[in-house]
């Protein structure tokens, strides 16, 4: 009986939406608005001050509409019957000095469709505020606490967002991994009643460097996948490995070869079958003069993919590979 009542309620909601969609001045719902019924988290890293937002939904490319963030300002998750303007406007309000609660109140006050919205904001102090409209499709709810807010709608049950809260509070490590743990807890507890399709994960710096490309510490999206959180977990691991690769490149530039080798070694251990990581490790060994370690690696790489062999001589003119002609011949052979 409860199941039938819920279905009738959902059907009446959609009839109401369709009715308002036909009005030219309606701000409640537009036919081209994304329907991101989903679960998400906005969170704060007390150690670093970094801020993040993560989401999963049965909707294509959910990250393009739900997740918003700016270093030195905060993060926003806007979902359910999405009002995309809540992202940039919420950030702008927090940037002007308003708290997440003040910004949220202002966003909702001017939105006639507020009861269909679900939104969360978090700032550089770790203050969070969130809202679930009365007309969000049930089960729906949110929990805003110190340094985080979790929110979900159109779920399989009402245990989803409490499970997310518990997972985030009890997890350790970097912020991105902790937020992903919260999403995984939501999925394990039942998740979106429709299933799953896409996910996104964004982490921004506590303070802006003025360089957007450096301020986004993690920016990953899975737009269409049968198991988006599994893929997001894999991508985050790849991201971490390439962080070590980037650290190695910086160390090479400063001629800190010992540090470079440690970074390369860490990256390779994370993805032992990745030829690119192996290749640049071999290059680093060669530049260090350790041909005994470099040559077997080059041989293995060239055997698996001859394109790396074709690339090797091209590294000499710009100094990326610093070997003698004799050593180069040995590598190529």
DSSP 69-106: EETTTEEEEEEEE--TTHHHHHHHHHHTT--HHHHHHH
Cα–Cα dist 32/13, whole Å: 17
Asked if residues 15 and 39 have their Cβ atoms less than 8 Å apart, the reply is no
At which residue do the structure tokens 């490319």 appear? 61
pLDDT the model gives residue 12 = 42
pLDDT the model gives residue 15 = 41
Residue 208 DSSP label: -
> Order of strands across the sheet with 141-145?
141-145, 148-152, 38-44, 51-57, 198-204, 216-222
Q: Half-sphere exposure of residue 122, counting CA atoms within 13 Å on the CB side?
A: 33
Cα–Cα dist 194/275, whole Å: 39
Q: How far apart are the first and last CA of the chain?
A: 76
pTM of the shown model: 0.84
Asked if residues 197 and 228 have their Cβ atoms less than 8 Å apart, the reply is yes
Q: Which of 269, 264, 292 is nearest to 279 (CA)?
A: 264
Compute mean pLDDT per 10 residues along the chain, 333 residues long, and list them: 45 43 38 70 98 96 96 97 96 98 98 96 98 97 98 96 98 97 97 94 97 95 97 96 84 75 83 89 90 96 96 94 95 93
pLDDT the model gives residue 34 = 60
Which fold does the domain 33-226 belong to in CATH? 3.60.20
Please, which residues have CB within 8 angstroms of residue 39's CB and are 6 or more apart in sequence?
55, 56, 57, 150, 151, 152, 153, 155, 160, 161, 164, 183, 186, 191, 192
pLDDT the model gives residue 7 = 46
């Amino acid at each position: 009986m409860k199941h039938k009542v819920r279905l009738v309620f959902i059907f009446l909601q959609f009839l109401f939406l369709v009715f308002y969609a036909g009005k030219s001045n309606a701000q409640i719902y537009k036919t081209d608005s994304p329907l991101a019924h989903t679960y998400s988290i906005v969170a704060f890293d007390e150690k670093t001050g970094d801020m993040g937002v993560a989401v999963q939904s049965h909707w294509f490319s959910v990250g393009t509409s739900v997740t918003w963030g700016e270093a030195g300002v905060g993060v926003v998750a806007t979902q359910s019957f999405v009002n995309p303007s809540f992202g940039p406007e919420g950030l702008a309000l927090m940037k002007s000095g308003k708290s997440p609660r003040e910004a949220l109140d202002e966003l909702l006050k001017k939105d006639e469709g507020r009861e269909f919205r679900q939104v969360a904001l978090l700032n550089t102090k770790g203050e969070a505020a969130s809202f679930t409209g009365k007309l969000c499709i049930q089960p729906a709810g949110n929990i805003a606490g110190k340094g985080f807010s979790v929110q979900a709608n159109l779920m399989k049950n009402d245990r989803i967002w409490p499970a997310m809260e518990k997972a985030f509070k009890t997890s350790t490590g970097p912020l991105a991994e902790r937020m992903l743990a919260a999403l995984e807890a939501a999925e394990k507890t039942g998740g979106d009643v429709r299933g799953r399709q896409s996910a996104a994960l964004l982490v921004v710096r506590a303070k802006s460097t003025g360089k957007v490309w450096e301020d986004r510490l993690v920016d990953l999206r899975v737009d269409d996948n049968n198991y988006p959180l599994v893929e997001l977990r894999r991508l985050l691991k790849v991201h971490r490995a390439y962080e070590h690769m980037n650290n190695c490149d910086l160390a090479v530039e400063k001629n800190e070869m010992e540090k470079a080798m440690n970074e390369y070694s860490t990256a390779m251990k994370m993805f032992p079958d990745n030829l690119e990581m192996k290749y640049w490790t071999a290059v680093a060994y060669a530049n260090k003069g350790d041909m005994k370690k470099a040559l077997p690696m080059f041989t293995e790489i060239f055997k698996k993919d001859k394109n790396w062999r074709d690339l090797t001589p091209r590294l000499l003119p710009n100094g990326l590979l610093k070997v003698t002609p004799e050593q180069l011949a040995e590598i190529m052979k």
